[in-house]
Structure 1
């Protein structure tokens, strides 16, 4: 697919090679296959190009070198849409090393936007990096984007697979790239780059990147996308799958493989690396256990602020930690060429996502270890993420009806949430999709229906994409169990044109990191199980409540507010949750679990003086009342069965918005009889939304309790 050589090709090649060597700092650097072809297409033909190449191939070298050459030829600046802050920081540093004037526009530097806009007007910016969320931000979209897009010489869509909802990492904000494409100058080049796109995703990306330019005449041909697709094999990676169903076994395995041997000073897994977990709580728990065993480990999650994540990335880059235990927040864009290993504590939902994450390792070294520790909870967590991907038709209809009723005045997200049965996070994700697809629009902080929109809920497409996710999940479950070369399996899932057996994975060359045995291992597994059960979960009290009439959030008065609470387990964790839920289902909590809850309260050291419980809707005998009474006996405190259930309501798990959750509890319980004086311990089984504890606790406060401390077996 390369272009015809022109008389300027040798000069361009020499200039490009000099730029590449400046970028890499290597006077002997040469282009890899297809790199120069792509650069020539962008610079000479101002073409639209898609590079589907393995991690470490050098996709960024293509757009940096092309930027330098285009700018030297009088083209406008390059606009890079890049998904992660880590990627942006690396790119800014690389651009500056080439002498390019690079800037970024993000939510943390809004005070600089006017200055950057002025620099663009003065043609003093060579390269501008933005996150995809900027494309969906009112101020940027309305003020800065037209200025930038109208002058762009090269548009780069990094991690272009995020454009496609067929892909493993679809991001609705990426759909706004269509707005940028429509506003590009006629001579602007376009480059999409990714390492994780199969044929279906490539077709979808191609369709979106070949949209005609704004103002295209009827006779103007639609743009053509030139695609360069190379082998996705990663020869430096040695892949292995180890089946360890229980999390305690995996914790023990990690300690044994990450802890240095006292005799040699070396660990079975070399250098420093990343352990991936599916949830924030798992990442924190794994990092904690490793640190307790003398391994320099730290957790990395999307809930940390950017400064903390940047600092941890740098510590890993300098080998100041042995391992970072991360969620998918540490993925695309992080570049440590000598990363020695990647271990998955749990499996992601697709082989494609797995390939993207293991691609962090072995980029600048000949050998890196990659191990998948498959667990029995993987599917449950994956199911949750799959179920959250698309809103139901019923919920979408509720949102659109509420916005239609509001008219041009619109509704804020909070106001809308009070009218529909959705949590705020899922509601805003839905609104983002509807905004991109033209069903609603945002004006300031309010959402407004688009009355002339012909948008329709595409149930067939959503169902098809969901089934694709299920197929990917099944392929991930089969990975390593069907006797095929592991690297070849990854290549085939990504529709690599030339998949081959690697000769070095555990299937091809035999296992190396299998489960361990022996007394020391058994003792470590027991210790790991104790660790999993030893970390109580604290939760905050409700401070705001929706008004029963308007749904508007109002502050809960201090004199009826409950105190911070504590849970024995978190939903789905590897400690007490499974046992507690089985016992609740059987109708009676075991003495072991009651003893554990009593120990939790004692360690908590809250000054409670009596115990009450929220009546269960599980029938007779009341399992929660029984739990409360037995817990009171263990704690040697008075038992006060003063809370009664007036009527059964649907489970809180079926309620998603704060207004619906509060309404589902309001009036369902009452406090009867004499409320003892002093501070109460309020017991419940499973905390779903927190509103039951807040409202029942509020009633106890009104009836004279000095304070109410909630305690539950498990919290969602």
Structure 2
């Protein structure tokens, strides 16, 4: 029988000879290994939850039990955990989107019993081959099943993932004596109850270990440093003084790239890390931060759960997350093995605009969801690209809907795509409404955190229903407890230099290169590569930019009118810096329901300044209807025929600069460019005031 001494020996292999097993860690290990119970462990970041399951995995393997299956949400988490397992002599492998070529070999190692630990992404649980060929054997022979970052199971959690709900299918197929461990650091009472229900770990025989969430090393501060340029300048002025290396979080991908570029220009070794960063580059950036080769990674929430750098010296947020629970999770990256780590929030007025945007792409209406179900009532499965043109949903929202419907039993993923099951399905509108209300309360709590005079750590712990928090407890470390505050003052010259750097206009607008699939079903004979679309274009800035974003949002949210001088001057700067293949010879404005004067006046100014032929406005056709579709195929179909064909431009007419106010999906520019190409333009060069991404 496994003993605490056995567990201590493995811990020293994992974490070094000075590591000591906590009492609660041994309680959890004993419950899993000796008593083969189910357990839910809610403990702060850095407490040692991964040590519990690696030690339990090795002890169970030594006792003749099968491999441990760990469901992990992020690639960074998996990479760190495989390395940790290797240090303890545990044979581990991972199956995720970055190692597709290794899957067959890993599946064979599972079947032959060579692996002690298999880490899988939740998405793999419903891959048809994995689900039908590998999962049954795992469920039959598993020694332990671990659900890491288990708050992802709950749609009340800050990082709900529909794929995580599939874990309950795996657990339902387990033998009665197979222990289950669910772990998380970020779960309040509601999330804990929901996770316990989802995973079937809520019975009387379940061990729940829930500890205090204070982090003695974290020194929390809030600095109200002003507008985006002032906050970026504040960061540049203070970055050198922050301890060690750390993470600077931004709310959007665009902000991450802009801030990283700004800091690099000032000599700081930093890099951007976002969800769009390629896997190989992510691994290198993580390694650079671990080895202190960079001062900071400027990151979105893509660098979050599971990234483990014990000596991370600081976490700075340029912009507040929409939930104090998500904020606690992100700042928990810092100070795991240091006496002090600085945690600084630099909130901005525009944060709530970003929150509103992400809320706008939540679960769609019942009518749209039922349309998805009806389209899958076919004899043959439909792939996601094939289904997309049949329903008015963008790809990411459609995939989310399919995952939820799959979990609810209304559809099923099979080889070749998705099929309907015929099972009755109920749209839980009251639940979605309660979720929306809960998220609004979380947003308000995040605003309250910024303004509170109370202890900031106590505030966050209260949001997480910390059972160890006393009514009048204070951390004694945050700015409110100590009175020691960072000055919000920013050198005026530095702020102006930063503003100019951020306000440098010009972002490339990549052209659409491929038609969306399924247009034939909507009556359009378009497929494959786009041969008659626009060239690469430019926008002055993105709506999310730290520099031009606020100016452009104000302009486009305001009344229609002549283009302001500063915006026209910015447009000229962008055009002057454009590395033309062939310079445009003419300019044309796109018709607009909201800003016809703004666009036409800008086109006229550019024609005058650039000595271009002013072709006027590409007018809407009388029968044209406003486009409201979100799905690419539907948008293309709706845009087809939207403009009255212009007079012929003449054979060999030179490139035309096509001017619009805003571009989001790129399909309006693409379809309008085809109209001009058909009228004789040799090329179309799109130019817009703003882009959304």
Q: Does the TM-score normalized on the shorter chain lie above 0.5?
A: yes
The answer as to 2:551 corresponding to 1:579 is yes
Deviation at 1:548, TM superposition (A): 5.9
Contact 1:181 1:211 (8 Å CA) reproduced: no
Q: Per the alignment, in what secondary structure is the counterpart of residue 190 of structure 2?
A: helix
The answer as to 2:602 corresponding to 1:627 is yes
Q: Per the alignment, in what secondary structure is the counterpart of residue 640 of structure 1?
A: strand
Counterpart position of 2:444: 474
Deviation at 1:186, TM superposition (A): 2.5
Which stretch of structure 1 is more off in the superposition, 414-423 or 706-715? 414-423
Query: What pairs up with 1:87-102 in 2 under 5 angstroms?
Result: 87-102=77-92
Counterpart position of 2:614: 639
Q: Per the alignment, in what secondary structure is the counterpart of residue 128 of structure 1?
A: strand
Equivalent-residue separation in structure 2 for 1:306 and 1:559 (angstroms): 31
Counterpart position of 1:230: 211
Deviation at 1:111, TM superposition (A): 4.1
Deviation at 1:50, TM superposition (A): 0.9
Contact 1:583 1:589 (8 Å CA) reproduced: no
> Given the alignment, which residue of 400, 410, 413 partners 1:439?
410
Equivalent-residue separation in structure 2 for 1:86 and 1:556 (angstroms): 35
> Given the alignment, which residue of 6, 19, 29 partners 1:15?
6
Equivalent-residue separation in structure 1 for 2:208 and 2:674 (angstroms): 63
Contact 2:410 2:420 (8 Å CA) reproduced: yes
> Given the alignment, which residue of 312, 315, 326 partners 1:353?
326
> Given the alignment, which residue of 669, 675, 688 partners 2:664?
688
> Given the alignment, which residue of 633, 639, 649 partners 1:659?
633
The answer as to 2:486 corresponding to 1:513 is yes
Deviation at 1:387, TM superposition (A): 2.7
Encode CA deviations 1:354-401: one digit per residue, 9 max, x unaligned: 000000000000000000000111111112222323222121022122
Query: What pairs up with 1:163-178 in 2 under 5 angstroms?
Result: 163-178=153-168
Equivalent-residue separation in structure 2 for 1:599 and 1:588 (angstroms): 19
Contact 1:343 1:371 (8 Å CA) reproduced: yes
Counterpart position of 1:262: none
Counterpart position of 1:427: 398
Equivalent-residue separation in structure 2 for 1:492 and 1:98 (angstroms): 36
Counterpart position of 2:132: 142
Counterpart position of 1:117: 107
Deviation at 1:553, TM superposition (A): 8.0
Contact 2:70 2:147 (8 Å CA) reproduced: yes
Counterpart position of 1:315: 288
TM-score between both structures, scaled by the size of structure 2: 0.95
Equivalent-residue separation in structure 1 for 2:50 and 2:117 (angstroms): 13
Q: Per the alignment, in what secondary structure is the counterpart of residue 568 of structure 2?
A: helix
Which stretch of structure 1 is more off in the superposition, 44-53 or 573-582? 573-582
Counterpart position of 1:530: 500
Contact 2:647 2:679 (8 Å CA) reproduced: no
Contact 1:642 1:675 (8 Å CA) reproduced: no
Equivalent-residue separation in structure 2 for 1:107 and 1:47 (angstroms): 32
Equivalent-residue separation in structure 2 for 1:19 and 1:581 (angstroms): 56
Counterpart position of 1:264: none
Contact 1:608 1:679 (8 Å CA) reproduced: yes
Contact 1:206 1:225 (8 Å CA) reproduced: no
Encode CA deviations 1:550-572: one digit per residue, 9 max, x unaligned: 13783477662211111111123
| Paired residue total | 681
Change (3 A) 1:87 1:583: closer
Contact 1:150 1:185 (8 Å CA) reproduced: yes
Unpaired segments ≥5 residues, structure 1: 1-7, 213-221, 259-266
Encode CA deviations 1:237-281: one digit per residue, 9 max, x unaligned: 0000112341101110010001xxxxxxxx321111000011111
Counterpart position of 2:53: 63
The answer as to 2:691 corresponding to 1:715 is yes
Equivalent-residue separation in structure 1 for 2:222 and 2:361 (angstroms): 28
Change (3 A) 1:48 1:656: same
Equivalent-residue separation in structure 1 for 2:528 and 2:588 (angstroms): 22
Q: Per the alignment, in what secondary structure is the counterpart of residue 389 of structure 1?
A: coil
The answer as to 2:297 corresponding to 1:324 is yes
Contact 2:273 2:302 (8 Å CA) reproduced: yes
Change (3 A) 1:91 1:578: closer
Equivalent-residue separation in structure 2 for 1:657 and 1:559 (angstroms): 21
> Given the alignment, which residue of 253, 263, 268 partners 1:280?
253
Contact 1:441 1:448 (8 Å CA) reproduced: yes
Deviation at 1:30, TM superposition (A): 1.8
Q: Per the alignment, in what secondary structure is the counterpart of residue 344 of structure 1?
A: strand
Q: Per the alignment, in what secondary structure is the counterpart of residue 352 of structure 1?
A: helix
Counterpart position of 1:409: 380
Query: What pairs up with 1:99-248 in 2 under 5 angstroms?
Result: 99-210=89-200, 224-248=205-229
Deviation at 1:579, TM superposition (A): 2.7
Deviation at 1:574, TM superposition (A): 2.9
Contact 1:538 1:565 (8 Å CA) reproduced: yes
Equivalent-residue separation in structure 2 for 1:678 and 1:695 (angstroms): 19
The answer as to 2:243 corresponding to 1:305 is no
Equivalent-residue separation in structure 1 for 2:151 and 2:661 (angstroms): 43
Deviation at 1:649, TM superposition (A): 5.2
Contact 2:646 2:676 (8 Å CA) reproduced: no
Contact 1:640 1:675 (8 Å CA) reproduced: no
Contact 2:168 2:200 (8 Å CA) reproduced: no
Counterpart position of 1:344: 317
Equivalent-residue separation in structure 1 for 2:323 and 2:496 (angstroms): 31
Contact 1:642 1:671 (8 Å CA) reproduced: no
Query: What pairs up with 1:47-86 in 2 under 5 angstroms?
Result: 47-86=37-76
> Given the alignment, which residue of 548, 555, 562 partners 2:534?
562
Q: Per the alignment, in what secondary structure is the counterpart of residue 355 of structure 1?
A: helix
Please report the RMSD computed on the Cα atoms of aligned residues, expressed in angstroms: 2.0
TM-score between both structures, scaled by the size of structure 1: 0.92
Equivalent-residue separation in structure 2 for 1:428 and 1:645 (angstroms): 33
Equivalent-residue separation in structure 1 for 2:485 and 2:201 (angstroms): 50
Equivalent-residue separation in structure 2 for 1:458 and 1:160 (angstroms): 23
Change (3 A) 1:533 1:59: same
Counterpart position of 2:461: 491
Query: What pairs up with 1:286-297 in 2 under 5 angstroms?
Result: 286-297=259-270
Q: Per the alignment, in what secondary structure is the counterpart of residue 375 of structure 1?
A: coil
